[in-house]
Chains A and B, each alone.
Chain A
């Protein structure tokens, strides 16, 4: 089914988030799609928010079944998260396992004052008690379908759907 353009959804997200921002907020994007969304959000929200990125490969719960993810990117949070209000950003929310892994990893960086979750698309299908605070678009997608965010060489975002 056709989805709204990613940029339109990011505009919506930014409008939802803007009134809730406080000076102690920071953005954390989850590699790879979540980092793209975070960068776009940061631009729309004024660009002065501290930004960090997480690759959750070392915190996944399926390592013993499928091994290490073939492409691991460095995580980087260049500020102290202790006592900060973090906004965790991802592209597509599905089972919730990625968010679980990201929260575990964040706590290895310190103790944030709060973590909220913003996702571009919530496709349903949760397997853990995780619920986004902000979502650009919500719909139910069957388990045998795959949905992900892509970015082309020019930096334009798009959705790719197909068989899982």
Chain B
């Protein structure tokens, strides 16, 4: 087996578990393929027959309606058969292990597993233990990675900015707990973004952040000055319970993206957010709904990007 479990011997993509370690050629192949899938929405029948007869299982060990829905739509637009399993509510509570669950579903002739789990490494564990023909996609594992979100963000940036090589990009918010931020940093570094900033209060930054090759800013005003892209992160409410942050109002005052603060970025800067948004906490409604916001296009592109990954994996 190839040393990178994500790749086949010939260097093609086998599983999508993390963007860390994926070469630029594979990221670019996914983005180019997604461009093709975007045009499928032009058709009256918004569906292609590519994965006819394939069974795709959405294994969600952690609740998520939005992400699960986008994977489901992507699989259906490829004509695959999709089964959604909300595992926290079924066998796991009866004591079945993760690998038992997967073995049972494999016996039902699964071709692909889409996995979301609260523990980092869950998708890797499954990928190491499935039969040769089965493909695994990580839909978010703990604080580790959310590769399709990272890819759809790259697609969005490329769509609106034409590329990555002349951009100054800021990722703002709870970097510490964010698997999205990790995937974004990996992808932007690989794709050659020359200036990547992370902007957050000290309590929401990982201790090793300097080693990730990013510029660190502790004031929003400094961090977004003259940037081309502002990538906001969701502030997870549960973090408020701990001592990491004072209150939503206080957070908004210093870290919320308002129209006035956005003026510090370039006039044509775009604003992104992975959703779901906390309006009035990390982002002002006037920005979220404003003309620089590309938050809804991100959702649309997310389906095309997931179609691209599914069909590349299924074909390799």
Stretch at the interface among B46-54, B65-73, B97-105, B187-195: B46-54
Q: What's the least CB distance linking A64 to chain B, in Å? A: 8
Known A67-B315, A67-B316, A109-B44: A75·B39 in contact at CB below 8 Å:
yes
Contact status B36-A75, CB under 8 Å: yes
Q: Does B312 contact A (CB under 8 A)?
A: yes
Q: How far is the CB of B301 from chain A (nearest CB, A)?
A: 13
Residue A142 lies at the interface, judged by CB distance under 8 Å to chain B: no
Report the Cα distance A77→B45, complex, angstroms: 13
Determine if A63 and B39 form an interchain contact, defined as CB atoms under 8 angstroms apart.
Answer: no
Measured between beta carbons, the chain A residues less than 8 angstroms from B50 are 58-59, 63, 68
User: How would residues 63 to 104 of chain A score, 1 for a CB under 8 Å from any chain B CB and 0 otherwise?
Assistant: 100111011111111000000000000000000000000001
Contacts of B48 in A (CB 8 A): 58-59, 105, 108
Q: When A63-B50, A67-B316, A68-B312 are in contact, do A74 and B36 touch as well, CB less than 8 Å?
A: yes
Whether B39 and A108, one on each chain, are in contact in the complex, defined by CB atoms closer than 8 angstroms, is: no
Indicate the size class of the contact surface on chain A: 20 to 34
Q: Which of B32, B35, B44 contacts A108 (CB 8 A)?
A: B44
Given contact pairs A58-B40, A58-B50, A72 touches B33 in the complex (Cβ within 8 A): yes
How far is the CB of B300 from the nearest CB of chain A, in Å?
Answer: 14
Q: Is A57 in the interface zone, CB < 8 Å from B?
A: yes
Q: How far is the CA of A70 from the CA of B35 in the complex (A)?
A: 13
Q: How far is the CA of A70 from the CA of B312 in the complex (A)?
A: 9
| CB nearest to B53 among chain A residues | A64
Q: Which of A58, A63, A66: most chain B CB closer than 10 A?
A: A58
Contacts of B241 in A (CB 8 A): none
In the assembled complex, the Cα of A131 lies from the Cα of B38 at a distance in Å of 32
Docked CA distance A104–B35 (Å): 20
- Candidates A59, A67, A74, A109; contact of B38 at CB < 8 Å: A74
Distance of A68 Cα from B51 Cα, bound (Å): 11
Contact of B29 among A66, A70, A104 (CB under 8 A): A70
Residue of B36, B44, B49 near A110 (CB, 8 A) is: B44
Interface residue? A122 (CB, 8 A): no
Indicate whether B43 reaches chain A with its CB closer than 8 angstroms.
yes
Contact partners of A77 in chain B: CB under 8 A: 42
Mask: chain A, 107-148; 1 = CB below 8 Å from B; 0 = not: 111100000000000000000000000000000000000000
Q: Is the CB of A72 within 8 A of B316?
A: no
Given A63-B50, A73-B36, A104-B49, A109 contacting B315 (CB threshold 8 A): no
Give, as a whole number of angstroms, the nearest-CB distance from A160 to chain B. Answer: 24
Q: List 19 A-B contacts (CB under 8 A).
A: A58-B36, A59-B48, A59-B50, A63-B311, A67-B315, A68-B33, A68-B50, A68-B311, A70-B29, A72-B32, A72-B36, A73-B36, A74-B35, A75-B36, A75-B42, A105-B43, A107-B45, A108-B48, A109-B45
Point out residues on A near B: beta carbons under 8 Å.
Answer: 55, 57-59, 63, 66-68, 70-77, 104-105, 107-110
9 A-B pairs closest in CB distance: A67-B315, A72-B36, A58-B48, A74-B39, A108-B45, A68-B315, A108-B43, A75-B39, A58-B50
**Residue ranges of B at the interface with A (Cβ–Cβ < 8 Å):** 29, 32-33, 35-40, 42-45, 47-50, 311-312, 314-316
